[in-house]
A and B are shown apart, each in its own frame.
Chain A
Amino acid sequence: AQKITQTQPGMFVQEKEAVTLDCTYDTSDPSYGLFWYKQPSSGEMIFLIYQGSYDQQNATEGRYSLNFQKARKSANLVISASQLGDSAMYFCAMRESSVSGGYQKVTFGTGTKLQVIP
């Protein structure tokens, strides 16, 4: 069963507007972490933001915020004031740990291609 679901293969947003990229997840692990990464055409995965399953507040990093709704198992990324340089693939990912915490396994979604229009 797919653990990370990104239902938007592609999105368009006008420059300076805000955009929300959707992500839902499935896990039975009580302790997990959720990440968003940006992948430009160059290929490097750039870490954007992290939300722990026990964090009470939504994570924010500059123009990025993560809308964490635990009961709905969703972790949407909100990008405010979009810039042309935001055009890239965006991946949602989830970290699950072993019972002993001796490792972590990160599962990625299929990604959303965001294009910012001037």
Chain B
Amino acid sequence: DAGVTQSPTHLIKTRGQQVTLRCSPKSGHDTVSWYQQALGQGPQFIFQYYEEEERQRGNFPDRFSGHQFPNYSSELNVNALLLGDSALYLCASSFGTAETQYFGPGTRLLVL
């Protein structure tokens, strides 16, 4: 039973660039949520996708956007990268929007 997978594991970008992070949910799950975790902090909710629609959004600017595909996988896009976007980006999946979320290993993004 495959768990949540994320790619890439690590990424280095420079300010102003754009980045795309990918997530495949756990088998049988249809809902994907994205979180940003800065060093020494708890994860911060970015948004949640269900039925290919953004259902809820946290306090993040429009530079952060996402997409969910028919196979339930998801992408997180960040435009015009800032130094402060350096963080661990976690994807979590669940069956439905109200069930326990299971997390992937994360993508570590470093913006120089």
| CB contact list, A70-118 vs B, under 8 A | 91, 93, 95, 97-98, 101-111
Cβ–Cβ < 8 Å partners of B50 in chain A = 102-103
Cβ–Cβ < 8 Å partners of B72 in chain A = none
For B103, give its contact among A37, A110, A111 (CB under 8 Å).
A37
Rounded to whole Å, the gap between the CB of A46 and the closest CB of chain B is 8
> Which B-chain residue is minimally distant from A110 (CB atoms)?
B42
Cβ–Cβ < 8 Å partners of B58 in chain A = 105
Rounded to whole Å, the gap between the CB of B42 and the closest CB of chain A is 4
A-B contact pairs, 19 of them (CB 8 A): A33-B98, A35-B100, A37-B103, A43-B108, A45-B43, A47-B101, A47-B102, A95-B98, A97-B98, A98-B56, A101-B97, A101-B98, A102-B55, A103-B48, A103-B50, A103-B55, A105-B45, A106-B33, A106-B101
- Report B's interface with A, CB cutoff 8 A: 33, 35, 41-45, 48, 50, 55-56, 58, 88, 90, 92, 94, 97-98, 100-106, 108
- Report A's interface with B, CB cutoff 8 A: 4, 33, 35, 37, 42-47, 50, 91, 93, 95, 97-98, 101-111
